[in-house]
A and B are shown apart, each in its own frame.
Chain A
Amino acid sequence: MSDKLKQIINKQSEQQNDISDQLDDVVQLVGFVIGDEEYAVPILAIQEIIKPFTWTRVPQVPTYILGVFNLRGAVIPLIDLRAKFGLQTKKQSDETRFIVMRDGDDVAGFVIDRLTMAIRIKKVNIGPAPDTVNGDDTIIDGVGKQEDKIITILKVNKLLERNF
């Protein structure tokens, strides 16, 4: 048991060394799925990830804003990313999660279909957003290339920006 523990600790410290070696050119992201696409946001923008629970509808807002919910005493807006991205709404499943993102003082919860994993990706492997969606208005920060797939990286500040 203790040997195993040592191994793990060693492994971790090795990893940590790796990280510090290349801290500058590695971005840590959290990946999630909405519809058929995989998206990611910087891990530091995420305050927490929670299982779904009840929320309260708020009138006179676009349909993608489901309402507000109680996060340990704070009232936080809840946004359905499926609806925001123009997809059909889907019933929540066991894999549905709320991702609470924060940018400065702005906080909001986002409903996503499923989490994938924490991703380390080298900066050199992140390309700019495709030309067609370029401009200041896009919520796409860039496109991360991995061995077998590409991931759309989203701008958290744009997600948290009120545009209605």
Chain B
Amino acid sequence: MDEFQEILQDFLVESFELVEKLDEDLVELENNPEDLELLNGIFRVAHTVKGASSFLNFDVLTHLTHHMEDVLNKARHGELVISPDVMDVILESIDLMKALLETIRDTSADAGIDVAECVLKLDKITNRSEEVKSSVVEAAPVVPIAQTKIIEEEITEEEAIHSEGEPDYDNMSPDDLEAEIEKLLQERQAEDRAKREAKIAAGESVLEAPPEPEEEVDSSLEPEPEPVVQAVAPTPAPVKQEEAKTEDAKAGAPAKRTPAAVEQTIRVDVKRLDHLMNLIGELVLAKNRLIKINDDVEERYEGEEFLEELNQVVSIVSLVTTDLQIAVMKTRMLPIGKVFNKFPRMIRDLSRELNKKIELEIAGEDTELDKSIVEEIGDPLVHIIRNSCDHGVEMPADRVSKGKEETGIIGLKAYNEGNQIVIQIDDDGQGLDTDMLKNKSLEKGIITEKEADNMSEKEAFGLIFKPGFSTAAAVTNVSGRGVGMDVVKTNIEKLNGIIDIDSELGVGTSMKLKIPLTLAIIQALLVGVQEEYYAIPLASVLETVRISKDEIYTVEGRSVMRLRDDVLSLVHIGDIFEVERILDSSEHAYVVVLGLGTSKLGLIVDTLVGQEEIVIKSLGDYLKGIEGVAGATIRGDGGVTLIVDVVALMQMAKDVKATPLNESSSATSISVEKTKASDYTVMIVDDSKTDRTIMRKALEPIGITLIEATDGQEALGILKAGEHNFDAMLVDIEMPRMDGYTLATEIKKYNKYKKLPLIAVTSRTGKSDRMRGVESGMVEYITKPYSADYLSSVVQRNVNFKAEFL
């Protein structure tokens, strides 16, 4: 049973892969009915599926594919002309085949789908072609085109059989293989016999056979110089050749013959790749941490010899990590052709349905994208292309009257641009009419009159992405329901991508989807606000500017600034993320200019930390859907930093009221009425136990509460914990971890502690030391040694100690 399941899985994976390419090939075939290469490829799919399904006892599928194979076989022998009608039946049968495969995938059985009707149609075609066939054969000597076709086919035939067999063999049991070879030989002999007659008749036209690609060389060489000899005894030679080739193919296949089939690939479960990607993510985080530690060490042990070595190791590790990350990212990459494949068929169906003539030109289908993006990009593209067909390209008659070609062309191309991939959809249709767009939107109440007047051309184009907008006069089966384009926008934005529209009335429309290569690891700009940090995806950052507070103006309750010739609306990141303003903001601020498509927004932050590579992690189910937050990442220090969702942020900015930046009144220090001496609290910060004891002894007599800290860091921690309301602090200057000056500077950053008296108690007596003390915000400077009374009086003065408590 397990073995069967395994085979079934292989069969399904292979079949779906084959079918995927099929649609494209078939449409191509309709345009080039003479392209035997294609026809053979299609026949191969039907044949492979038939073979495997009969082996797996899927009778319905076998039945269907068998009849498909018949029709296709006729077609590739030139006994049947692929007309649109025939193609309709073939496409229908392929759809059925897909449905059957899906049923098998879901239920492991192929019951429940009726193929009888389609089989009947297929049979009809087969039978009809019987008559055609005889006429073709009879006509062969007379009609040169038919001759060439047959010969051409004869040549490709051989190749077809080889390549037809190759993919199969790996999955076949030895018996099946034997049978297959036997079958192929018989087929070939029979065909050869049939062809020989035709060829003798057409012998002189052999040389006209179009030059085939290199791989054809040995087979086409033989018939070319001595076509007649070949015609007399052709059977043994090709057969031998074929056998040899089959074996070759099994043994790794020489490149000269079929380079495409030798692709050395291995099929890996996506889960494993995802796991690998996660591990790389961890490694990137560890790398960031290592770099940070390296910087710290460099600072502390400047000039030490081992630093050089450490530096080297760190840079190697970071280099290799980056390479590794790229390598793994590449393994997850799929060519976008996988998505593009379904469009030729779609365009064909649409143009028939809409009675328009549309041609699709695809370019850059080899461009690679992360698997997860490839999966997500399909639906938006379907919507866009449908839209282009329905609204963009005009009816053939209209086109002619406008002096355009009758057939409209939709171009679909993909290419890389920096760290992004661009998918461009062009049509040469009627273009977007901005006035019409505005009027429609006004009619539907999507925008106000005032908005319409102020709209730029680009913004007007953007209207088509508004929910509820549809320009189609009539709702058709294809589009016009007013859903679709807004879904397109949300889907693209979900991928961190942006849409750019360009259009010229009467000439055409061009849409560019710009999408990042991968979703998991991105470059981000880290910004600080108060004590918090946020990461902004670098792809949405246009520039950063440092401004002073008086460059910010308020217009209609919104902050704006002048950026070169533009007016940029501003929003403070603290207003978006409800950040408590505990630190005093400085005179200057930084503005991060965010760009998303055509809209821009300035985000005010307190500090710019720098650029970093971050790994996007989800906040999990419990916290999902927080507006403005796209996820989280883990920083070098092990802390978590939230990632800004630029799309949502732009939306939120519209509703946020600007709070004045200079507001600092909120943090008035809480002054509780002192009722006894112990209500006064003073912190002693000194690394020496002796010094602390001396200070304690000096202050204990007046009965105030004393808290001790051994260095700046600890003191700051106690202060921030907020358990005590300090009235003054006695600070030593020389301390490990954080010295007195730094501590004072840090404390003064908090609005709350602006007025907290800091008293330096130190043995440093130099003038410059005193100056530094004052600069960092110390109010008194006591030099050691001092008398207990002096210290006590200084403290009493600074805490406004009430004399009655003494």
Which residues of A are at the interface with B, using a C-beta cutoff of 8 A? 54-61, 65, 67-70, 73-77, 91, 105-108, 160, 162
Contacts and interface: CB of A to CB of B under 8 A. Distances in A.
B285 A68 contact: no
Nearest to B721: A91
Given A58-B629, A60-B626, A73-B285, A105 B621 contact: yes
B627 A60 contact: yes
A58 B619 contact: yes
B641 A162 contact: no
B306 interface: no
A77 B623 contact: yes
Given A73-B285, A91-B723, A61 B642 contact: no
Interface stretch (B312-320, B425-433, B632-640): B632-640
A109 to B, nearest CB: 11
A72 B222 CA distance: 69
B640 A65 contact: no
A78 to B, nearest CB: 10
Residue of A65, A67, A105 most packed against chain B (CB within 10 A): A67
B617 A75 contact: yes
Given A59-B578, A105-B621, A70 B626 contact: no
A56 B528 CA distance: 13
Given A54-B639, A59-B577, A70 B532 contact: no
A69 B723 CA distance: 24
Interface in B607-659: 617-623, 626-629, 632, 634, 638-642
B187 interface: no
Nearest to B640: A56
Contacts of A55: 640
A161 to B, nearest CB: 8
A56 B622 contact: no
Interface of B: 282, 285, 532, 576-579, 617-623, 626-629, 632, 634, 638-642, 721, 723
Contacts of B282: 73
A54 B634 CA distance: 13
Those 5 A-B pairs whose CB atoms lie nearest each other, nearest first: A59-B577, A56-B640, A75-B632, A75-B617, A77-B622
Given A70-B634, A75-B619, A60 B578 contact: yes
A79 B543 CA distance: 37
Contact of B634 (A57, A75, A77): A75
A55 B577 CA distance: 16
A75 B638 contact: no
A56 B620 contact: no
B634 A73 contact: yes
Contacts of A56: 532, 632, 639-642
Contacts of B639: 54, 56, 70
A19 to B, nearest CB: 34
Contacts of B621: 105-106, 162
A65 B532 CA distance: 17
A129 B183 CA distance: 76
B619 A77 contact: yes
Given A54-B639, A56-B632, A77 B620 contact: yes
Residue of B621, B639, B721, B723 most packed against chain A (CB within 10 A): B621
Contacts of A59: 576-579, 626, 628-629
Contact of A160 (B618, B622, B628, B629): B622
